[in-house]
Amino acid sequence: MNSKPYFQHLWQRGCDYLGAPKAIMGGAMTWVSERHLVSALSNAGAFGVLACGAMKPDMLRAEIQETKKLTQKPFGVNLIVMHPELEALAQVCVDEKVPHVVLAGGLPPAAVVSKLKAGGTKVMAFAPALVIAKKLLRSNIDALVIEGSEAGGHIGPVSTFVLAQEILPEIKDVPVFAAGGIGRGEGILALLEMGAAGVQLGTRFVCAKECIAHAKFKQAFIRGAARDAQPSVQLDPRFPVIPVRALMNNGTRHFTEKQREVMSRFETGAVEQKAAQLEIEHFWAGALRRAVMEGDVAEGSLMAGQSVGMVDKEQPVTVILDELIGQALAALEKRNLPK
């Protein structure tokens, strides 16, 4: 029984939206999702997404231009809505004719959405709950990503499976991509059959050969099990910290100590609350760079999703994608397809 036409039908809407033959987006991982991994994903038929992170506009422009030198295929850019130069970054994406921008980290400002859409860019945003998904649709967002707490990096409180059941049956007007904890093709198939237009994977691609992450960083992923990827803990509600899922190491413990130290200085009046909050948030930025770029896997931040337990070797992007799709097709071949 030929399962390929049915599988293609399941994600055709996502393929059409992305302009790619495979409706698999690369998760935007700071320091990891740069020109080499992004171009490799797009060249292989998936959809790479550059992680802007804390880049300045000129840095983002240069990274987009360098990515274009490596691929003629479409790719996107992920912008953090809390970035102080968000509007300038959006303008860079318009100037460089980036076809898709993914806005993350909160509700996107209407002015930025309008700027991007007026420039011909399709806009995606993250919906951590049904009520927010509906609000985003009223904001003229073109597509949604629902990312569960199994994901790596900054996470919300709800699992992918619960979000999928809550949101996919209700949101039909725009494509919805599912993310968080996806490591095999059977998972992709299940989410597509639940109504997702496509999926987003991050952790699975950290150990792609084209990924520039340090060899020690990749080895930590290969050794890691699902239960090793744990969310960080908030110590004081006066200093709200978005949980960060990462492989447990000395750096994770130091983050807890950092919170205690900053709160102690706040209590004595040595630092104001806003400055204290920023100091806590900035901890992860430097720790992640040390891990990814320098291989400091003891003290750095090993941001990883719970699908890390399904990463067991370094492979080319093309092989990873073929493996994922092959698993999905094999699962279909084991049952009778709809006539």
Same domain, 173 and 230: no
Same domain, 203 and 232: no
Does 67 map to a domain?
yes
Same domain, 45 and 145: yes
Exposed/middle/buried for residue 168 (C-beta within 10 Å: 0-12, 13-18, 19+) = buried
Q: Would you call 302 helix, strand, or coil by DSSP?
A: strand
Same domain, 183 and 296: no
Same domain, 114 and 32: yes
Does 103 map to a domain?
yes
> Which ranges in the chain belong to alpha helices (H)?
4-18, 35-43, 57-70, 86-95, 110-118, 130-138, 160-167, 185-194, 215-223, 250-267, 273-294, 317-333
pLDDT-above-70 percentage for the chain:
98
Does 339 map to a domain?
no
Tens of pLDDT, residues 154-183: 899 999 999 999 999 999 999 999 999 999
CATH code at 10? 3.20.20.70
Q: What does the pLDDT read at residue 339?
A: 53
Q: For 283-288, what is the mean pLDDT?
A: 81
Q: For 301-318, what is the mean pLDDT?
A: 97
Same domain, 242 and 93: no
pLDDT at 4 over 60: yes
Does 294 map to a domain?
yes
Q: Would you call 303 helix, strand, or coil by DSSP?
A: strand
pLDDT at 68 over 80: yes
Q: What does the pLDDT read at residue 307?
A: 98
DSSP one-letter string for 12-44: HHHHHHHTSSS-EEEP--TTTSSHHHHHHHHHT
> Which ranges in 44-200 belong to alpha helices (H)?
57-70, 86-95, 110-118, 130-138, 160-167, 185-194
Q: What does the pLDDT read at residue 41?
A: 98
Does 119 map to a domain?
yes
Domain count, the chain: 2
State the residue range of the domain holding 251: 225-303
Q: Would you call 187 helix, strand, or coil by DSSP?
A: helix
Q: How confident is the model at residue 1 (pLDDT cuts 50, 70, 90)?
A: low
Handedness of CA 26, 29, 33, 34 (dihedral sign): positive
Q: How confident is the model at residue 338 (pLDDT cuts 50, 70, 90)?
A: low
Same domain, 122 and 180: yes
Same domain, 202 and 151: yes
Q: What does the pLDDT read at residue 312?
A: 96
Q: For 105-117, what is the mean pLDDT?
A: 96
Q: What does the pLDDT read at residue 337?
A: 56
Closest CA to 207 of 60, 320, 51, 322: 320
Average pLDDT of the chain is 94
Q: For 105-120, what is the mean pLDDT?
A: 96
Same domain, 169 and 20: yes
Does 95 map to a domain?
yes
Rg value, the chain, Cα: 20
Same domain, 103 and 186: yes
Does 254 map to a domain?
yes
pTM equals 0.94
Q: What does the pLDDT read at residue 131?
A: 97
pLDDT at 85 over 70: yes
Same domain, 24 and 76: yes
Q: Would you call 76 helix, strand, or coil by DSSP?
A: strand
In contact, 90 and 67? CB cutoff 8 Å: no
Query: How are beta strands 122-126 and 244-247 bridged, if at all?
Result: unpaired
In contact, 189 and 156? CB cutoff 8 Å: no
Integer Cα distance of 223 and 278 in angstroms: 32
**Residue 297 or residue 336, greater confidence:** 297
Tens of pLDDT, residues 220-255: 999 999 999 999 887 777 767 778 899 999 988 888
Q: What is the dihedral of CA 49, 55, 57, 58, to 10 degrees?
A: -100
Does 338 map to a domain?
no
Closest CA to 79 of 139, 125, 138: 125
For residue 201, give both structure tokens: 């994977």
Integer Cα distance of 208 and 318 in angstroms: 9
Same domain, 85 and 23: yes
267 Cβ contact partners less than 8 Å away, ≥ 6 residues apart: none
pLDDT at 81 over 70: yes
